Structure 1
Amino acid sequence: MASVTPTSALPPSTAPPSATNGDVEMTAPSANGDDEEEDPNKVPDDAVETLYIHNLNESVRIPILKETLLNLFKSYKPIAPVIAHRNLRMRGQAFISFPDRETAHKAKKEVAGFPLYGRPLQISFSRTNTDAAVSKFNGDEALAAHKAERAARKKISRRKNPLRQKAQAKLKAAAADSSATGQPIANAPRRTIQMPDEYLPPNKVLFLQNLPEGTTKEDLQDVFEQHPNLIEVRLIPTKRDIAFVEYADEASSTVAKDALHNFKIDGETKMKVTYARK
Structure 2
Amino acid sequence: MAQQGMPPPFPGIAPPGAPPMGAPPMGGPPMGGPPMGGPPMGGPPMGVPPQAMGIPPPKLVGGIPTPRQPPNTTPSRTVYVNNINEKVQIPVLKKTLETLFQQYGKVLDVTAYSNIRARGQAFVAFEEEDSATKAIKELQHFVLYDKPLVLQYARQKSDVHAKLDGNYDEHHAARVEEKSKRPPLSAPLGPRPGMPGTGFPPGAHLPPGHQIPDEFLPPNNILFLQNLPEDIQQAQLMDLFQTYPGFREVRMIPTKRDIAFVEYEDETLAAAAKSALGGHEIEDGKPMKVTFARK
Normalising by structure 2, what TM-score?
Answer: 0.40
Would you tell me which structure has more helix in proportion to its own residues?
1
Normalising by structure 1, what TM-score?
Answer: 0.42
Structure with larger Rg: 1
